[in-house]
Structure 1
Amino acid sequence: MKPAEFTYYRPESVGEALHGLATLPDPKPLAGGQSLLTLMNLRLARPATLLDIGRFTELARVFDDTEALVLGALVRHRTCETDPLVAARAPLLHAAAGHIGHLGIRNQGTIGGSLAHADPAAELPLAAVTLGATVHVESATRGKRALSAEELFVSFYANSLEPDELITWITVPAIRPGQGWGFVEYARQHGDYALAGAGVLLSLDARGRIAGLRIGLLNAADRPLLFDEREGTAPVLGELPEPRLWEGLGWRLAALSEPSHPDTEYVKALCASAISEAAEAATERAGENT
């Protein structure tokens, strides 16, 4: 199939793009197009105006900001996968990017586009939630505001952005001494749609006991699921990070998931395994990162 009729508009600056979002009929930003164009070809999305922002070089930058990594919304998946700064400062994000689709998709897709698309089975939304990322958005009429990654995701392919808002920057806290990370994804083969997956960010204290824990699950609900000290992992704080602990926690958290897959119990078992495996990897890395 081919997309329904639309008007193509290519602004020359972020300010011009924001003005277009506020004034053009039914505008839809086009970044990498790896998700949007497919939906348009299937007639599942029918924007009246395509607003092409994909050539804004100012939003394709990655830079270090003391305790955080800052990424422009147009940073490609391939950059997240290969950039040494991303690998050093946000290794979980770096690892997750390598699981996205195939090379052609990673060459074109953007982090801002992936977050806005809000696919609960996508890797970058999971990484953003697990790492506690902040999403910065702008509007010509509303100005600027910052959302936590958790606040951005509403439901299947639905975000909390207003129609005239554009994601411009993403801030990701940099990994700190004493922290470790793990990312595990299960798919029928590499590049396929993920069946289940988990991201873990673990902090250990000077005694080697658990001081902080964030666990994210993908394809386990209508949005990326996050479990942390507020969401039932508090009983493990102060405990020694042992395989038996992670196995039990994996099953306990997997039971709270609500996967949309027809074989719910199968996906929950994959979630439990992904949590345990990712947590064990995080434990090993935390011990090395002192």
Structure 2
Amino acid sequence: MKPPPFDYHAPRSVAEALDVLAAEGERAKVLAGGQSLIPLLNMRLAAPGHLVDINRLTELAGVEAEPDGVRIGALARHAEVERSEPAAAAQPLLRQALRLVAHPVVRNRGTVVGSLVHADPAAELPAVLTLLGGSVRLARRGGPGTPAAGVSVSPEVPAGGSLTVRDVPAGDFFTGPLESAAGPGELAVSAFFPALPPRSGTAFREVARRHGDYALAGVAALVVLDDDLRITSAAVACVSAGPVPLLVEVTGECGHRPPASAGWAGAARAVQDRAEPEDDIHATAGYRRHLVGVLAERALRDAAREALNG
């Protein structure tokens, strides 16, 4: 199958890319890893008039791990982030999730930020960003936002002209299936994944027909303990459980208790009650809801065990 015709742009700077996006608006699509966009083009499910290839913008390929979290540039590949020891130390959930993303050949080309902008509710990384309360940084020419001078997009987007940036929190970024808050003319330049608080643990569990397939259901979990090793916070974000990543706080169900006596089963039921999966050719909604509950309990236990082990 062949894609519909389009004009191809290969900007050599972020400023040039933003100029093209500002000029073409809704008619333009950004090409980074292409692991989602190219199949959509070939199946004629997307037909942009202009394709803006940002692969020459090496300044957007950074992975910066700091004490407060990990900032990932728009051209950082899944495999690069997965292999990054500083990123795994600052935010272990990234590596836990990335090991489940598709296959190595896809992870070698696909980008973390591209997966977020694609906003597939069956993908792992949107759930990770949602659970951690991360954000996506968008840049554009003109429009509302913060002047780029002094604002790092890691790597830095050059200031000048009417360039503005805005940070969109995960809770506002995913607006529907394959829909995000990135508007016409905007370029997602980086994403930020906050670091874990002390005495916390994370885990990612999913079930797929084959390893690398989209998950029938998946759960990312975060558990935080106090100095007495009692649960102070517990939450999960679910994959394939609704039109956007589903975030469920289950601290109340777990109780302010040590993990060994926590109410994990009650937390799992709370997740099942919130889930809104749909039937498809792979599984019924009822089966997905059952899976979400089972995986939530397992992921929460895994995360609590990691928190106990420091």
| TM class, shorter-length | over 0.9
Residues of 2 paired with 1:133 and 1:217: CA distance? Answer: 16
Aligned pairs for 1:200-239 (under 5 A) are: 200-228=221-249, 233-239=251-257
Q: Is the 8 A contact 1:93 1:128 kept in 2?
A: no
Give 1:118 deviation, angstroms. Answer: 0.3
Which sections of structure 2, spanning at least 5 residues, go unmatched? 144-163
Residue 235 of structure 1: how far off its partner (Å): 4.4
TM-superposed CA distance for 1:234, in Å, is 3.4
Q: 1:127, 1:216 within 8 Å by CA — same for their partners in 2? A: yes
What is the aligned partner in structure 2 of residue 175 from structure 1?
196
The alpha carbon displacement at 1:236 in A equals 3.2
Q: Which runs of 5+ in 1 are unaligned?
A: none
The range that moved more, 208-217 or 5-14, is: 208-217
- For 1:69 and 1:192, locate their aligned partners in 2 and report how far apart those are by CA, in whole Å: 27
State the match for 1:18 in structure 2.
18
Distance 2:65 2:98 in 1: 19
2:106 equivalent to 1:105: yes
Query: What is the alpha-carbon distance in structure 2 between the residues aligned to residue 183 and residue 235 of structure 1?
Result: 20
The answer on whether the counterparts of 1:212 and 1:237 sit within 8 Å (CA) in structure 2 is: no
| 1:81-133 superposed Cα distances (whole Å, 9 cap, x missing partner) | 21111211111111111111111110000011100100000011111111111
Alignment of 1:117 onto 2:118:
yes
Contact 2:67 2:90 in 1 (8 A): no
Instruction: Measure how far apart 1:215 and its partner are.
Output: 0.9
Mapped to 1, the partners of 2:278 and 2:62 lie a distance apart of 36
Query: Would you say the 8 A contact 2:269–2:293 is kept in 1?
Result: yes
The residue identity in structure 2 corresponding to 1:254 is Q
Confirm or deny that 1:284 pairs with 2:305.
yes
Q: Matched residues in 1 for 2:260 and 2:176: separation? A: 34
Aligned to 2:155: none
1:272 aligns with 2:273: no
Q: Secondary structure at the match of 2:259?
A: coil
| Preserved CA contact (<8 Å) 1:243 1:276 | no
* Structure 2 counterpart of 1:184: 205
How does the TM-score come out when normalised to structure 1? 0.95
Counterpart of 2:63 in structure 1 is 62
- Mapped contact 2:255–2:263 kept (Cα < 8 A): no
Deviation at 1:244, TM superposition (A): 6.1
What is the one-letter code of the residue matched to 1:8? Y
- Counterpart of 2:147? none
Paired residue total? 286
How far apart are residue 173 of structure 1 and its match?
Answer: 1.1
Which residue of structure 1 lines up, in the alignment, with residue 264 of structure 2?
246
Identity %: 38
Q: Which residue of 1 aligns with 2:152?
A: none
Relative to structure 1, is the Cα distance of residues 120 and 80 closer, same or farther in structure 2, using a 3 angstrom cutoff? Answer: same
Q: Distance in 1 between matches of 2:48 and 2:69?
A: 35
Per-residue deviation, residues 135-172 of structure 1 (Å, max 9, x unmatched): 11111112111111121101110111111111111111
For normalisation by structure 2, the TM-score amounts to 0.89
Runs of 4+ aligned structure 1 residues displaced above 2 Å come to 232-237, 239-244
User: Post-superposition shift, 1:79?
Assistant: 1.3
Deviation, structure 1 residue 39: 0.3
Specify the SS of the correspondent of 1:43.
Answer: coil
Q: Choose 255-264 or 193-202, whichever is displaced more.
A: 255-264
Task: Decide whether the 8 Å contact of 1:180 with 1:286 is kept in 2.
Answer: yes
Alignment correspondent of 1:130: 131
Superposed CA offset, 1:29-64 (max 9, x none) = 000000001000000000000000123211111112
